[in-house]
Structure 1
Amino acid sequence: MTSIAFIGLGVMGSPMAAHLATAGHDVTGYNRSPGKDEPLRSAGGSAADSVAAAVTGAEIVCTMLPDTPDVDQVLTGPGGVFAHAKPNALIIDFSTIRPDSTQEFAEQAAQRGFRYLDAPVSGGQAGAAGAALSIMVGGAAEDFAAAGEIFDHVGKTVVHVGPTGAGQTVKAANQLVVAANIQALSEAVVFLDAYGVSLPEALDVLGGGLAGSKVLDQKRENLLSGTFDPGFRIDLHHKDLGIVSAAAREAGVVTPVGALVAQLMAAARACGDGGLDHSGLLRGVQRLSGRTDT
């Protein structure tokens, strides 16, 4: 049994922490918004009333937080992980944040005697609930090996992709591909609908050929029903595409499709769709095509 602190019990973090507790680990969770700890408690874990209380004595500290400033506050703040974790604790950041900030956090961690892995995930709420996440991990190989059992309890595809920051870089690429795929699917659905084609059958055919993808498999029902309960919110994907844009500019890389889909994601937020699942990009195509009143 490993003592684990899990900071961030939101849509993704809550089931991940619960899986670790169900596997028999001693998991203490903390979430800055109250009332999010019941799934962890039901799985046999416990909840703390502060980051400091959660991480004290923990061998592994996991974070799953919305954005770079949130990770910064939790790690480096006066009541944070760096100030209260035990020496040599392994910090695993499952959040999706800036690669350059990740490298800075890892350097600070090393200076304080901690180990650090960046391990952003893909798979959304369904992947977290089913312990089937894809996890892209950056950091030292020996730390990746030490965290193997933790990853196995929350993910299905776990790959060590390189040194510190590599995990976040691969996740940025993932988010570019997913956003472009959703946008293309949304345009295809509106195009097909304009010609009166039966959408279920059309998506069956597309899914069985080269146009098929996991994005189509997972977002099919959203696109058909026009309901967009969040598995991964437009607000968060907007943030991730900002990471892509900034990192690409720093590398001198041109991402024209990425730039376009980032603007379309921003437009969706501006129209009030930020809280919807990212498959809600369909609504933007419908608006542009004059095929909706919303």
Structure 2
Amino acid sequence: MGTEMALRLLHQGWKIEIYNRTRSKLEPLVSAGAVAADSIAELSSCDLVVVSVASSADFEAVMLGEGGLLTQATVPKVIVDCSTVSMESSGKVRTYAADKGAALLAVPVSGNPKVARVGRLTMAVSGPEEAYRYAAPILDAIGAGVTYVGDGEAARLVKLCHNIFLGVVTQSMAEITALAEKGGVPRSMFLDYINKSVMGSTFSKYKTPAFVNLDFHATFTSKLLRKDFELGLAEARSLEVPMQTAALVHQIVQGLIGLGHGDDDFATLLLVQAAASGMQLEGENVEVQDGLD
């Protein structure tokens, strides 16, 4: 995801310096004109730094760990974190950053590498409003929709709600698709109907190729979805908000991982639903569009 976001900036003429703990991942960006840093500490003199990592532990490591961005004598004015991390981790880094004179913006993104490539990421932003205005040109260059939702960790909660919805909708889509299939309606025909109806959406169109042709190359893994369910349900408990449907889908996703699909795309929920319905699906090998081209 970070690579595609950086490429968006490069293709629009931005001059950027980049760092990745896995050096080989920098190669396509350097080829596109980026300057590679040897350590994250080298980015500390930049006015604005965008961060994209996989977990809360990774976020704290690159910010506060040995040689971390915020451990340097000079720190950026604004740090834009596009990761999905816990409220606690983000709050810890936010406090440390403020003490050093840096503003942290929580900017978890909605989408995946292909969505990023075509410039259709959406972003919820929270943090100091002045910092948001400063970062807005960069954010607008990366994605298609940016919504400022307030101060503090509000954007983290918004993204967790989004990803819980993602899982619940996909499970529901798997159930109705399995029902139609067992009743004799090919998945391609059924989903074509759904996508043309009032119930169709950008997301249902996007997942249609995976459901029809059973191509589960990961855009968002089941393990990552489980992580977001766990974070979201923890927030729900702390706020005393019952989430019965989400709790059930969380357990279905856990079962999906137990069956060996942890590193596959979470659309493999369809396979589990089909198996529970007494079916073994085969790809239809039908050309269908995902709505992104």
User: What TM-score comes out, normalization by structure 2 length?
Assistant: 0.92
1:260 counterpart = 2:261: no
Identity of aligned residues (%): 30
1:114 counterpart = 2:93: no
Deviations 1:198-227 (A, max 9, x none): 322221221222321222111001000011
Verify the 8 A CA contact 1:15 1:39 in the aligned structure 2.
no
Change (3 A) 1:92 1:45: same
1:279 counterpart = 2:279: no
Is there any run of 5+ residues in structure 1 with no aligned partner, and where?
A: 1-11
Distance 1:38 1:49 in 2: 13
Per-residue deviation, 1:117: 0.1
After TM superposition, the runs of 4+ consecutive aligned structure 1 residues lying more than 4 A away are: none
Deviations 1:143-182 (A, max 9, x none): 1110011101111010101111011100001001111111
Distance 1:143 1:211 in 2: 38
Q: Give the secondary structure class of the aligned counterpart of 1:257.
A: helix
Q: Who is 2:175 aligned against?
A: 187
Q: Give the secondary structure class of the aligned counterpart of 2:23.
A: coil
Q: Who is 2:67 aligned against?
A: 79
Distance 1:104 1:34 in 2: 28
1:227 counterpart = 2:212: no
1:154 counterpart = 2:159: no
Verify the 8 A CA contact 1:133 1:157 in the aligned structure 2.
yes
Q: Who is 1:163 aligned against?
A: 151
Distance 2:155 2:181 in 1: 39
Per-residue deviation, 1:26: 2.7
Give, as a single letter, the amino acid of the residue that structure 2 aligns with 1:35. S
Q: Who is 1:36 aligned against?
A: 25
Deviations 1:91-139 (A, max 9, x none): 0000001123222221111011111100000021221111210000011
Verify the 8 A CA contact 1:64 1:93 in the aligned structure 2.
yes
1:48 counterpart = 2:37: yes
Q: Who is 1:198 aligned against?
A: 186
Per-residue deviation, 1:252: 0.9
Q: Who is 1:7 aligned against?
A: none
Verify the 8 A CA contact 2:54 2:83 in the aligned structure 1.
yes
Q: Give the secondary structure class of the aligned counterpart of 1:183.
A: helix
Number of residue pairs matched by the alignment: 282
Q: Give the secondary structure class of the aligned counterpart of 2:146.
A: strand
Verify the 8 A CA contact 2:45 2:76 in the aligned structure 1.
no
Q: Who is 2:127 aligned against?
A: 139
Q: How does 1:8-23 map to 2 (within 5 A)?
A: 12-23=1-12
Verify the 8 A CA contact 2:15 2:34 in the aligned structure 1.
yes
RMSD across aligned positions (CA): 1.7
Is there any run of 5+ residues in structure 2 with no aligned partner, and where?
A: 283-293
Distance 2:44 2:98 in 1: 18
1:123 counterpart = 2:111: yes
Q: Is the deviation greater in 230-239 or in 172-181?
A: 230-239
Give, as a single letter, the amino acid of the residue that structure 1 aligns with 2:4. P
Per-residue deviation, 1:85: 6.9
Give, as a single letter, the amino acid of the residue that structure 1 aligns with 2:180. L
Deviations 1:14-56 (A, max 9, x none): 0111222233333222222231112211221022232223x13
User: What TM-score comes out, normalization by structure 1 length?
Assistant: 0.91
Verify the 8 A CA contact 1:59 1:86 in the aligned structure 2.
no
Q: Give the secondary structure class of the aligned counterpart of 1:24.
A: coil
